[in-house]
Each structure stands twice: as C-alpha cells, then as structure tokens.
Structure 1
Amino acid sequence: MQRRHPLLLLLIFSVFLSFQTSNGHNITRLLAKHPSLSTFNHYLTLTHLAQEINRRTTITVLALDNAAMSSLLNKNPSIYTMKNVLSLHVLLDYFGAKKLHQITNGTALAATMFQATGVAPGVSGFVNITDFKGGKVGFGAEDNGGDLDSFFVKSVEELPYNISVIQISKALPSAIAEAPTPGPSELNITGIMSAHGCKVFAGTLLANPEAMGTYEDNLNGGLTVFCPLDDAFKAFLPKYKNLTASGKESFLEFFGVPVYQSLSMLKSNNGLMNTLATDGASKFDFTVQNDGEQVTLKTKINTVKITGTLLDEQPVAIYTIDKVLMPRELFKAAPTPAPAPAPEEAADAPKASKSKSKSKSKSAPTPESDAPADSPDDDPADQTADDNAASSFKGGRFVAVGLSFLLVFLLL
C-alpha cells in the first residue's frame, strides 16, 4: 500500500498540470530584478508590448540598459514610434546565450514582433544575428544595410525554450521602425483596407457616414476590424442593397469590435464577442473559436475564417476574413432540408407500420421573420462541423480526466 502513494501523488500532479494554461513568464517581473534595465521595462509597459510578450511562448527580448534607452529617447519619438522600435527588439524565436554561439552556419535571420504587426514592409521587420569569431555576437536590423553594430552583452534571464532576455549594447537602428507613426485617430483604416484586398468593403463603409463615424469614434479607445475580401463582399452586395438604411448601418458596424484584440488574444479568448452594432436587445454578436492556428468567427447563419493581418498596432487591429459574416438579426438561416422518406417495406414485412412511424422527423425550424435574405447553403454545414469538432475535443478531455480518476481509485 505504501508503494502506491508515490504513484498516486504523481498521477494527481499530472492531472493538475493538464489544466495549467499559463505561459509561465512575466517580462515586467523578470526585468524588475535588474535596475539597469528599468527604463526599458517602463516603456515595454507604456507601449503595451509587455502584455503581448507575456502572451507568447518561444520568444527572445533584446533588452537595452538605461544608457542605451537614453540615447533612443533623445530623438523624441512618439509613443507609437517607440512601440515600433521596441517591437523590433522582440524576436519570435528562442535564443539563449548557448544557442547564440551554436547558430547554423554562424548566421540567422529572426522574425520580430514588429514584422508580425503587418506594418513593416518587406524584410524590415527581421533581425540578422551573426556569431563572429572570438565569441562576439552581432545584431542588426535587416533594413540597415547589413550593418551589425549592436553586440551581445550578457544573458539577463532564461526560461529555456519559453523566454530568453539578453542585453545588447545599443538599440537596433531602423529607418522604417523609427519613422514618425500616426496616432490611432490619424489612422486611415479604409485606406489600409483598400490597399490590401478589402477595397469593396472599405468603399461601402465610406459611403455610410453613420457607420464610418462609429468606427472613427472607437479608434483611440480600441478597435478590431474584420474586413471581408473583395470577391466575397462584391458577391454579397445585392443582399446588402436590400437592407433598410438602419440595417445597412448595423450590418457595417457588425464587422468592428470596440476593443483591441491581437491574434494571440483571439486565440485565447474564445467565446461570444460584442460588436459596434451591439445595442441592448440587438445583440449583433458572434462567437470566436480557434482550431490550432486557425481562428473562425461564427453566427447562427454562417462561419468565416481569419485569413490575414493588415494591422496589429494597439489599440487598432485589422484582419481579413474569407467570407461575409452574417448577423442573425438581419438574415435568416437556410431551411434545413427534410429527410428523404423511408423506402416502402415488402408486403411480408411484419413490422412495416412500426418502422414507418419511427422514421418521422421534426419539421425544419422556422426562420426568423425579420430577416430579409437567406444565407449560403454551405454555411450551416460549416457551423455544424465546427460544433462537432468542439464537442469531440471537450469530450476527449473529460474522458482523459475520467480515466485518470479511475486509475486513482484502482490504486487505493
């Protein structure tokens, strides 16, 4: 019996770990132990980059000491430009001190958080890392003409393969990252959408002053936009034109969320999400759901997928979606087709009447009366498939936990 206790404790601990979801690091707390990095830590918090760093795994922060930060601040950058510059110092890969000296072929090109925002054109969001002879490691922004004039100083904190904080000698110069950045209220969101495959949606939004005004009012406080790509929205325009004036306004506002949501936040915050059109009884909400790296948005009418990121600069994010998401408040679901009648039984079948009575099914649900248009035929099937997948995942988890407790019982 005594031999069973270690196994029992190990099993209980394993079950406990299966419910842990924390990334296990907090960049603000890690840097707080190093006073020489206090200014860098302060600006990570001020620009909200600290929150993004904490949500990610497999990441490297190139920290700057107070003297290096002072040189950077002497250029009087806006807080938005400062965010771009510092995001260039966050690598989306793990580079501990040991790995820096074991780079294949002596050089590597690392993507950064600046590149992930979608703001950095070409290769300007990448950092070159080169291991020189004699143990010196150089860093340089890829858009800086290949100059590697910042060098590895020391390892500050390492949680292997989760987060590495290393100090470098100076800020990475980058003309793109250091360029003056407009504040949120100065952003031309329709221009950004038009230039990246959402021209039809952007033009429709501009043609509706009431909806456009709602978007502009939310720029400073936080805004996330999901814009349908041109082919999808162009095909949908006839249905849009059939809506009333108030319906058109609500429909366009339905594609905006009055808070900033990065892609990592969308992946971790599954569930119902209100929109700019949400108003009391008029819910105009949708469900966010992810399957691995794929994020979907669902209503009772259809399901769409996020296909790209046009902008991810807090407090504004803009994503493209593959289809037009349809709110149930304005559209009705396609009626569910009735099942085919059961084939007639042979004359000598003794239980024909009983089988026939069992084959009866419920009639299709009545669609909402205030909906002026139908949804595409394939969308309810998409929604059903997603629901089944979610149910399977949850069911599998509960089975695993149930088996764990069964093993506990058997060990007692």
Structure 2
Amino acid sequence: MKTSLFSFTLLLTLQYSLAQPPAQSPAPSGPTNITGILEKAGQFNTFLRLLKSTQEVDQINTQLNNSNQGVTLFAPPDNAFATLKSGTLNFLTDQQKVELVQFHVLPSFISIAQFQTVSNPLRTQAGNANNGQFPLNVTTSGTQVNVTTGVVDTTVANIIYTDGNLAIYQVNKVLLPLEIFGDPAPANAPKPQKGSSTRSSADSPSDDSSDDTSSATGLIKQAASFVVLAAIGIFYL
C-alpha cells in the first residue's frame, strides 16, 4: 500500500513538472541608445534634431558600445534654445553645427562627484581646448556644478541618466563655444605702402604758409623793379 501511494505521488510530481514551461533566461540588455533616453526624458527635441542632423548621435552610440571610456553629454532643453537670438542656428554652417554638438560631448564618463577634481579646460569632442578655441571649464560649489564657455555661464540642473558608462546632464543654457560665438578680434591698423609718405597733415606745410611765401617773393620782386627804374631815371637826369 505504501509502495502504491509513493508511486502515485511520484507520478503526480512528474506530470506537474512536465506541465510547467521552462524557466526563461533574462533577456540581454540592448546597446545604450541616447536617442531613446532623451526622447523618454522629454523637452530635448531641438537638441535631438541637432544630434541626428549632424549624425553625431551615431558617433556617440558607436563610442559607447565600442569603448570602455564612456561618454558625458550636456543636454540643453528646448527652452534653452528658445532663449537664443532668433535665427542663431540657421546662420551656422554645417561644420559649425557639428562643432556645436561636439562641444556638448565629453569623450569620457564623468560623475557629478568627479567634477570636483577634473582639470580645466575639459576636453570635448570639438577639440582645441588648450588653444583657447573651444574652452569648457567647470567649477563646483557643494553639489552644484557650474559650467562656463567664455561666452555663457550655466549650471547642471539635473541628472538625466547615468550608468557608469554614460552620463547625461541637463544644463540651463546652450553651451556656445568661443570659437563660433565669441567677439571677433579687432582688425590690425593698415600698414603704409612702401614709398608712401607717413607724415600727417599736421607735419605738412599748410596752404596758407605757401601763400605767404609766394606773396613775400612777389613784393621783393616789385621793390627791385622800382629800384631799377629809379636808377634809370636818375641816370637820364
């Protein structure tokens, strides 16, 4: 009897096990996609259009999935672009638009805490930071991160995303690089052409002086004529 009960219990256990679906393994996580992250965050439509039109979004995603250095992205929201002077983006060349987007990208992962110890100027994808063309500097005050470009000053307003490989920070203003939006250098004074006079009008004799000299010469000639005529008259007398 006990053997029959045991056999019946074993049979039920086997039937239950076979009826259950096999356990599903966890789905592998897909590659990091900053487009999806910004779309989910909302209010970054203008920046997304720039990322796509310049194809920089593809470059960033490629670096994220093929490098262990990571990426840090400063993302201005739509209202930051709305404060720019009307037509600012339309007046940029295609190359300048690429540089503008690259200026918002750091080719390494930097956490909020690491901003306290980074060396300025930060290296961006736009490059040439040490030459003063695309300088990007940060300072910290407690937990606040201040960002300056030489044209605008702003702060990190929010952490949109971070995973140890990608960090996306919202900034209150569009980061305008000095190379594109800085004041142009003053033009140098033109050099005098070879052989041309460098004297100013103050150094040159005036027309009045020339007139005075001519008048004095005329008076002397008239006086000489009178003297000659007087001598002739005396001779005939």
What TM-score do you get using the length of structure 2 for normalisation?
0.59
Whether 2:97 is the aligned partner of 1:244: answer: no
- Cα-Cα RMSD: 2.7
Question: Once the 2 structures are TM-superposed, how far is the Cα of residue 254 of structure 1 from its aligned partner?
Answer: 0.7
Of the structure 1 ranges 187-196 and 248-257, higher mean CA displacement relative to structure 2 is found in: 187-196
Q: How does 1:218-367 map to 2 (within 5 A)?
A: 218-220=63-65, 221=67, 222-236=70-84, 238-269=87-118, 271-279=120-128, 283-333=133-183, 367=184
> Counterpart of 2:126 in 1: which secondary structure?
coil
> Residue 300 and residue 217 in structure 1: after superposition, are their counterparts in 2 closer, same or farther (change >3 A)?
same
Structure 2, unaligned runs of 5 or more: 1-23, 187-237
Q: How does 1:137-152 map to 2 (within 5 A)?
A: none
Q: Distance in 1 between matches of 2:168 and 2:153?
A: 18
Answer yes or no: is the 8 Å Cα contact 1:194–1:200 preserved in 2: no
Structure with higher strand content: 1
Q: How does 1:137-216 map to 2 (within 5 A)?
A: 180-182=28-30, 186-196=31-41, 197-209=43-55, 211-216=56-61
> Residue 189 and residue 296 in structure 1: after superposition, are their counterparts in 2 closer, same or farther (change >3 A)?
same
Amino acid across the alignment from 2:112: L
Question: Once the 2 structures are TM-superposed, how far is the Cα of residue 270 of structure 1 from its aligned partner?
Answer: 5.2
Answer yes or no: is the 8 Å Cα contact 2:73–2:167 preserved in 1: yes
> Residue 217 and residue 224 in structure 1: after superposition, are their counterparts in 2 closer, same or farther (change >3 A)?
same
Q: Distance in 1 between matches of 2:156 and 2:139?
A: 11
Amino acid across the alignment from 2:51: L
Answer yes or no: is the 8 Å Cα contact 1:224–1:261 preserved in 2: yes
Q: Distance in 2 between matches of 1:180 and 1:238?
A: 44
Q: What count of residue pairs does the alignment treat as equivalent?
A: 159
Question: Once the 2 structures are TM-superposed, how far is the Cα of residue 320 of structure 1 from its aligned partner?
Answer: 0.4
Question: Once the 2 structures are TM-superposed, how far is the Cα of residue 76 of structure 1 from its aligned partner?
Answer: 7.3
Structure 1, unaligned runs of 5 or more: 1-74, 78-178, 334-366, 370-412
Answer yes or no: is the 8 Å Cα contact 1:274–1:283 preserved in 2: no
> Counterpart of 1:320 in 2: which secondary structure?
strand
Question: Once the 2 structures are TM-superposed, how far is the Cα of residue 212 of structure 1 from its aligned partner?
Answer: 2.7
